[in-house]
Amino acid sequence: MLKPGGLFAPISREGTLVLNNIFLTAACTTAFVGTLYPLMLDAVTGEKISVGAPFLNATFAPLFVPLLFAVPFGPLMAWKRGDLLGVAQPLIGAAVLALIIVAGTVVIAGVNSVLAPFAISLAAFVMAGAVTDLTERAGFLRSHSYVALKRLTGLPRSAFATALAHFGLRAALLGVVCETQWGAERITALKPAEIVSLRGYDLSYDGLTPRQGPNYRELVGKFTVRRGATVIGVMEPSKRTFPARSSSTTQAALMTRGVSKLYLSLGDSNVDGSIVVRLYHKPLVLRIWLGPLIGHAAAAASGVKRPLILKPPKAIPLTIAALFAVTLLPLGGPCDALLSFTMADGLSWTDTRSV
């Protein structure tokens, strides 16, 4: 049976948890209503409407911005009654880093939108705040590095899980910002042997090939993808026709480059023998899914029960510390989003799915 606890001040760790739950619940409710309202309206009145980016930008974003700004303060707060000024002092370095990121984003990417520099600096603030929390707990600035490192490996599992969860927020935020602000697209008509280029990728159109499926016929386009003079893969989008249903679908080809993606789909054929193609580059889009995965890993790490022994083994916190360190590698540095549109490292693979 749950027992009521003591009172706590609004400025406390309990207060930040309540604030976190309120904002997350409101944001989830907003997304839920925006998703189901058009379906309910269609079922009740027959009227068809669409809810897209304008609705989410006007409702979801204003809820998440204050939440992300408050995230680094929560772990540093004391229980029952906290000191906001005392908590803000260790976060000065994180704020300075965020300002540097804003300046770097403006210099490298230009000022096409205020959203991109602000969101990237907010992501850097969340990341630096998670590191600050671990630094303060271990006492790196107050004691010898060996003592602080030993204290770090002895921190409870929940401390590393909290940092991992905050890094997951940062990864998802960067994915959303880079995909929306720096994504590129190209729509053109190509004849065989012609080339379409986008963000340093050159796709040469090699022609169409008819294929027979189990219950459909399809025309498959072959495109050789090059980065400079190097062939990095082949993309094969297609258009399928289902005679039994008198319908057709488009199968888009996808190529993954690091945590970015190339999308290619076929359009209509023209009388001159050319075919319309749509090519999209989505930088860092996979980080949108990486963020929730990191959050689930953090929840799993926090929920593992510690063995009931007098002295906990060092392998357990060291394992979480290693997981945290490995997480930093794919997330990259604070300025990685600025280089997203020139990123070409990593393995490549292709697949197809319906559009």
Q: Which residues of 213-310 form beta strands (DSSP E)?
A: 217-227, 230-235, 238-242, 247-257, 260-269, 275-282
Instruction: With a cut of 60, say whether residue 140 has pLDDT above it.
Output: yes
Q: Quick: pLDDT tens for 193-224.
A: 999 999 889 999 998 899 988 888 888 999 99
- The dihedrals phi and psi of 2, each to the nearest 5 degrees, come to -80, 135
Does residue 146 sit in helix, strand or coil?
A: helix
DSSP-derived secondary structure letter, 117: H
Q: Which residues pair with 280 in a beta bridge?
A: 185, 263
**pLDDT confidence of residue 50:** 78
Residue 141, helix vs strand vs coil:
coil
**φ, ψ (nearest 5 deg) of residue 92:** -60, -40
Cβ burial, residue 320 (10 Å; 0-12/13-18/19+): buried
- Residue pair 55/85 in contact by the 8 Å Cβ criterion: no
Reduced to 3 states (helix: H, G, I; strand: E, B; else coil), residue 344 is coil
Whether the pLDDT of residue 344 is over 60: the answer is no
**Which residues are bridge partners to 247 per DSSP?**
242
The pTM of the full predicted model, rounded to 2 decimals, is: 0.67
Burial of 277 per CB tally in 10 Å (0-12, 13-18, 19+): buried
Task: Grade residue 3 by pLDDT with cuts at 50, 70 and 90.
Answer: low
Give CA separation, 340 vs 150, 153, 179, 333, in Å.
37, 34, 10, 12
Cβ–Cβ under 8 Å, residues 26 and 65: no
Ranges 82-86, 88-92, 141-145, most confident: 88-92
CA distance 199 to 262: 10
Residue 135 to residue 129: CA distance in whole angstroms: 10
Beta bridge partners of 199: none
End-to-end CA, the chain: 50
Q: Is 205 left (phi over 0), alpha (psi -120 to 50) or beta?
A: beta
Task: Output the pLDDT for position 336.
Answer: 40
Host H or E run for residue 61: helix 53-70
Q: Which of 281, 273, 230 is nearest to 255 (CA)?
A: 281
Q: What is the mean pLDDT of the chain?
A: 78
Q: Is the pLDDT of residue 327 over 70?
A: no
Q: Could you tell me which residues come within 8 angstroms of residue 132 by beta carbon, excluding any fewer than 6 positions away?
A: 72, 76, 90, 91, 93, 94
In one letter, which amino acid is 80? K
Band the pLDDT of 90: cuts 50, 70, 90. confident
CB atoms within 10 A of CB 136: 16
Of residues 332 and 202, the one with the higher pLDDT is 202
Q: Among residues 173, 196, 331, which one has the least CA distance to residue 274?
A: 196
Residue 294: is it exposed, middle or buried by C-beta count within 10 angstroms (0-12/13-18/19+)? Answer: buried
Amino acid 198 reads L
Number of Cβ atoms within 10 Å of the Cβ of 330: 15
The CA-atom distances, in angstroms, between 216 and each of 69, 220, 264, 277, 302 are: 52, 13, 21, 21, 49
Q: How far apart are CA 10 and CA 16, in angstroms?
A: 8
Q: In Å, how far are 16, 230, 251, 309, 348 from 351, measured between CA atoms?
A: 43, 20, 10, 50, 10
Mean pLDDT of the region 83-94? 84
Q: Which of 7-11, 27-31, 282-286 has the lowest mean pLDDT?
A: 7-11
